[in-house]
Amino acid sequence: MTPALGIIIGVFVVAIALGLMARRGHVMSLEQWSVGGRGFGSVFVFLLMAGEIYTTFTFLGGSGWAYGKGAPALYILCYGAIAYSVSYFLLPIIWRYAQAKKLVSQADFFAVKYDSRALGVVVAVVSVAALVPYLILQLKGLGIIVSEASGGIVSQQVAIWTGSAALVGYVVVSGVRGSAWTSALKDLMILVVAIGIGVYLPLHYYGGYRAMFEAIELARPGMLTLPSSGMSPAWFISTVLLTATGFYMWPQFFAGAYTARNENVFRKNAVMLPLYQLVILFVFFAGFTATLVVPGLKGADVDLSLLRIVERSFGSWTLGVIGAAGILTALVPGSMILVTAGTILAQNVFRVITPTASDRTVSLVARSMVPVLALAAVLLTLRGGDTLVVLLLMGYSLVTQLFPALLLCLGANPRVSAASVIAGIVAGELTVVFLTVTSASVATLLPAAPQVVKDLNVGFVALGVNVVVLSIVAIVTRARALTATAPEASA
Amino acid sequence: MRRYRWLAALPTLGMLGGLPFANRVRPYVAGLPFLLAWIVGWVIATSIIMALIYRLDSTRDADAALTTPVDRAKRP
């Protein structure tokens, strides 16, 4: 056994222990399991909300984008800051309503606001369709990190099965408390690792940041700015706006807001989180260093750039620490996804089908869904072909379609009928599927448009279809409602 | 009225609105290419602006909590 493997196993065991211990002193009702009994203070909510920015995607994908694409990677820094500044105003509204109505899921929020179980089911289906691919992405990352860091001793399959089994164990036992406790360990390790390598690597290979960027600009002119077509400023701005819109539409972060003890928690976090996510900058530095130090990675392999440069630069010990941090970036989001998906299936699908079910039964169903979901994700991870990539690309676009429905119900009463938002969401989702399957872009849809329009993120097309269908149905249903009530009003 | 809350729109407008002009390598700022420095600067500014709004909100909330409706009615 190499030192790296020893460290990885050690941290893995500690993480599971933390996850299991998180349950202590709490009776696990559904409210406790799904939203931590609404008792989390600033630190736990902070860690859960920071979970979004430090997933395996940021760790491997962020450095991979910096390595392969350069400046376009910076969009990752922007959307978080914008979403957090909006969260200051948005999350207290959501939290207050959830607290008053004792909601446990995002689908609950829509179902109760619009007084429509059907809408709850639609949102539940969208949520699970977006969450399972996201879980698969985490498991894939986990497999890559463990097999690379262990020097191939542990195969990807073994890593994925073991990781998932541990995940299921502590999620079933501790629910969202397990996520919160393990994320404390994760963030601590990520901070040390990211800042450590982000500071060390550029200094070691180039002697300084400016020297590194000048070398990159010389070898790859244009890599440090956005190109004039393709990933241009128009692409960048539209992508940042779209991603910031979808940010809190992810069911696990939406419901993550329910865990807060009071609404001041969100305000404090909106101050801290933009600064905190600058840690991603150091991950970019590692990716930029790798550009010229370990050149030649192509296609999906760019995601290995971080691990390759670390292998080349450090001994087995450091590799182990980085591998362990990488595992945690997969386990924590993975656990939040499992809690959320289990809750949604039990609360917004099972309870609708079986209205007589007791709270105890619903809670049991939520937890029994965890191994089922995890097994499905593992099998898809190990067998997944190209269809999987398509699903992954769709995830963010799928959840973004919920945004108009949220915006229209933030006031005391929803501004439109449940039927209209259902129609909008369904139309939007179908558009997302169509656009993704045909890999359309605005350029292919509107070949005659000016370049600025062509570069816009295609996600806006789906959102546009959503809003148009929603408006038409809203106008029609409102007109009908008026004609139906008119005779009574005059009588 | 809490008009100062509109400050929260500033990071989005500044960061993205200025992007077409900030899309350049030179001048380097603190060792970073200009575009990168521009974005990092705005992310830091986001935290500062939100901290300002938080402080202003906190003082107003405290004032509102201290003055009960009865106190307010007594005011000239």
Q: Which of A159, A179, A165, A162 is nearest to A20 (CA)?
A: A179
Distance from C-alpha of A305 to C-alpha of A292, rounded to nearest angstrom: 11
Nearest CA in chain B to A268: B54
- A217 — contact with chain B (CB < 8 Å)? yes
Indicate if the pLDDT at residue A487 is higher than 70. Answer: no
Task: Find the CB nearest A225 among B24, B39, B50.
Answer: B24
B75 band by pLDDT with thresholds 50, 70 and 90: low
Per-residue pLDDT tens for A68-124?
888 998 998 899 899 999 999 999 999 999 999 999 999 999 999 999 999 999 999
Residues 6+ apart with CB under 8 A from A337: A131, A134, A135, A138, A252
Per-residue pLDDT tens for B2-48?
888 899 899 999 999 999 899 998 899 999 999 999 999 999 999 99
Q: Which site among B47, B54, B58 would you substitute to test the A interface, given the most A Cβ atoms closer than 10 Å to its Cβ?
A: B47
A154 band by pLDDT with thresholds 50, 70 and 90: confident
Indicate if the pLDDT at residue B76 is higher than 60. Answer: no
3-state secondary structure chain A: CCHHHHHHHHHHHHHHHHHHHCCCCCCCCHHHHHHHHHCECHHHHHHHHHCCCCCHHHHHHHHHHHHHCCHHHHHHHHHHHHHHHHHHHHHHHHHHHHHHHCCCCHHHHHHHHCCCHHHHHHHHHHHHHHHHHHHHHHHHHHHHHHHHHCCCCCCHHHHHHHHHHHHHHHHHHHCHHHHHHHHHHHHHHHHHHHHHHHHHHHHHHHCCHHHHHHHHHHHCCCCCCCCCCCCCHHHHHHHHHHHHHHHCCCHHHHHHHHHECCCHHHHHHHHHHHHHCCHHHHHHHHHHHHHHHCCCCCHHHHHHHHHHHHHHHCCHHHHHHHHHHHHHHHHHHHHHHHHHHHHHHHHHHHHHHCCCCCHHHHHHHHHHHHHHHHHHHHHHHHHCCHHHHHHHHHHHHHHHCCHHHHHCCCCCCCCCCHHHHHHHHHHHHHHHHHHHHCCCCHHHHCCCCCHHHHCCCCHHHHHHHHHHHHHHHHHHHHHHHHHHHHHHHHC
How far is the alpha carbon of B7 from chain A, nearest alpha carbon, in Å? 10
Nearest CA in chain B to A232: B20
- Given this model, what pLDDT does residue B72 score? 56
Nearest CA in chain A to B7: A85
Radius of gyration of chain A (CA): 23
The three-class DSSP label of residue B29 is: strand
Contacting residues of A for B40, CB less than 8 Å apart: 77, 278, 281
- A271 — contact with chain B (CB < 8 Å)? yes
Indicate if the pLDDT at residue A29 is higher than 90. Answer: no
Contact A267 B57 (CB under 8 A): yes
What are the backbone angles phi and psi of residue A440, rounded to the nearest 5°?
Answer: -80, 155
Average pLDDT over residues A30-54: 82
Contact A81 B24 (CB under 8 A): no
Distance from C-alpha of A457 to C-alpha of A397, rounded to nearest angstrom: 11
A382 band by pLDDT with thresholds 50, 70 and 90: confident
Size of interface A-B (CB pairs under 8 A): 98
Which amino acid, A157?
Answer: Q
Per-residue pLDDT tens for A172-207?
888 888 888 888 888 888 888 889 999 999 999 999
Tokens for A186? 């994760």
Mean pLDDT of chain A: 87
Distance from C-alpha of A263 to C-alpha of A91, rounded to nearest angstrom: 8
Indicate if the pLDDT at residue A253 is higher than 60. Answer: yes
Contact B35 A225 (CB under 8 A): yes
- Given this model, what pLDDT does residue B43 score? 95
Contacting residues of B for A82, CB less than 8 Å apart: 11-12, 15, 46
Contacting residues of B for A241, CB less than 8 Å apart: 16
Distance from C-alpha of A160 to C-alpha of A139, rounded to nearest angstrom: 6
The 10 Å Cβ neighbour count of residue A104 is 28
First to last CA, chain A: 86
Per-residue pLDDT tens for B50-66?
999 999 998 888 887 77
Task: Find the CB nearest A233 among B8, B23, B30.
Answer: B23
- Given this model, what pLDDT does residue A302 score? 83
- Given this model, what pLDDT does residue A68 score? 87
Task: Find the CB nearest A85 among B31, B35, B50.
Answer: B50
Nearest CA in chain B to A238: B16
Tokens 């550009």 correspond to A291
Contacting residues of A for B42, CB less than 8 Å apart: 78, 81
Distance from C-alpha of A63 to C-alpha of A70, rounded to nearest angstrom: 9
Its pTM stands at 0.88
Average pLDDT over residues A340-369: 90
Contact A213 B39 (CB under 8 A): no
Task: Find the CB nearest B25 among A208, A225, A278.
Answer: A225
Per-residue pLDDT tens for A404-421?
999 999 988 888 999 999
- Given this model, what pLDDT does residue A372 score? 93
Contacting residues of A for B16, CB less than 8 Å apart: 78, 236-237, 240-241
Tokens for A152? 């191939």
Tokens for A189? 């390790």
What are the backbone angles phi and psi of residue A319, rounded to the nearest 5°?
Answer: -60, -40
A19 band by pLDDT with thresholds 50, 70 and 90: confident
Indicate if the pLDDT at residue A491 is higher than 60. Answer: no
Nearest CA in chain A to B39: A78
Contact B20 A277 (CB under 8 A): no
Indicate if the pLDDT at residue A33 is higher than 90. Answer: no
- Given this model, what pLDDT does residue A115 score? 93
Nearest CA in chain B to A266: B54
- Cβ atoms of A401 and A470 within 8 Å: the answer is no
Which amino acid, A34?
Answer: S
Task: Find the CB nearest A274 among B16, B23, B50.
Answer: B50
Q: Which site among A210, A224, A269 would you substitute to test the B interface, given the most B Cβ atoms closer than 10 Å to its Cβ?
A: A224
Average pLDDT over residues A122-149: 89
A489 band by pLDDT with thresholds 50, 70 and 90: very low
Tokens for A34? 């799904």
Contact A78 B39 (CB under 8 A): yes
- Given this model, what pLDDT does residue A109 score? 95
